Structures are given as C-alpha cells and as structure tokens.
Structure 1
Amino acid sequence: MMMNWGIMNIGMILYMVLVILILGSIIYGGLVLVMRLLKKNNSTVVIQDHEQDTSLEILKERFAKGNLTQNEFEQKYTFLKGKN
C-alpha cells in the first residue's frame, strides 16, 4: 500500500517559509529599533552643537555691534566654550 507523501512535503515547506518569515521579521524589527535609537542619539548631539554655534554667533554679533565690552565678550565666550 502506497501512501501519499505530497501533502506532507507541502506542509513542511509552508512551515519552513513561515518560520523564515517570523525570524526575518524579528531580525528586521531589531535592526530598525537599533537604528532609530542611534539616529535619535546622534541628532541630539547635532542639535546641541548647532545651538552652541548659534549662541557663539549671536555673541560675536553683539560684540561687533558694540553692545558688549571686550571683557564681557571674553567672559561669555569662555562660558559658552566651557559648555562642551
């Protein structure tokens, strides 16, 4: 008596495809999570650097316009540079 093994082979193939899809989704989700965390940390640093550069530019403009004395400029410049 011969048994029909064709259905079992299709079932095993579908199961393997399902397992591969699930594992692939887990790996992809992990990579996306890591990339978002890294991107979030890097963007924060860039914003802080940009804010400090903007502060220094404003300070230089105020000094150039004569709103600050040289002593005031040097104190504020040293303070802003020390924030690194």
Structure 2
Amino acid sequence: MGWFGGVGMFVLMALVLAALVALVVVLARRAPQLPGQSDTARRILDERFARGEIDQEEYERRRDALTRAK
C-alpha cells in the first residue's frame, strides 16, 4: 500500500461523509413538522378574531392564506 492508497482512502471517506450529510439534509426537509408548529398561526388568528381585533372578512382572508401556504 503506497502513498496513493492513503489518499484514496481519504477521498473515499470524504465521499461517504458527504453522502451521509446529504442524506440527513434530505430526510430533515421531508420530515413532517412537529405537532403544534403549523397550528400556531391558526390559533393566533382564531384568538385575534375572538377578541374582536379583526373582522370576519379579514379573518377568512387570512385563514384562506394560511390554508394555501400548507
């Protein structure tokens, strides 16, 4: 095993590490959100409507925008 064997092993390990990092990134992006994260904006909107801070038209417009964003 000469000098090129050591460099080859280094390159192979770097490629394996890069593949693992790429796999983790892809899986993390595909993972569903934790429960409650997507409902936070809707809950705040519901509370603002219940307190009378926004009218029904504004509430429905924002609710529809949140639904489309999912």
Give the TM-score category using the shorter length: 0.5 to 0.7
- RMSD (Å) for aligned C-alpha atoms: 3.4
How far the C-alpha of 1:34 sits from its partner, in A, is 1.6
1:81 pairs with 2:32: no
Percent identity (aligned): 22
Structure 2: segments with no counterpart, 5+ residues: none
How far the C-alpha of 1:22 sits from its partner, in A, is 4.1
Q: Using CA pairs below 8 Å that are at least 6 residues apart, which structure has the higher relative contact order?
A: 2
Q: Which structure has the larger Rg?
A: 1
Higher helix share: 1
| Residues 33-76 of structure 1: per-residue CA shift (max 9 Å, x gap) | 32243155x17x749xx3x5322111011112222222221122
TM-score, normalization by structure 2: 0.54
TM-score, normalization by structure 1: 0.48
- Runs of 4+ in structure 1 displaced over 3 angstroms? 17-24
1:69 pairs with 2:62: no
Cα distance in 2 for residues equivalent to 1:22 and 1:78: 53
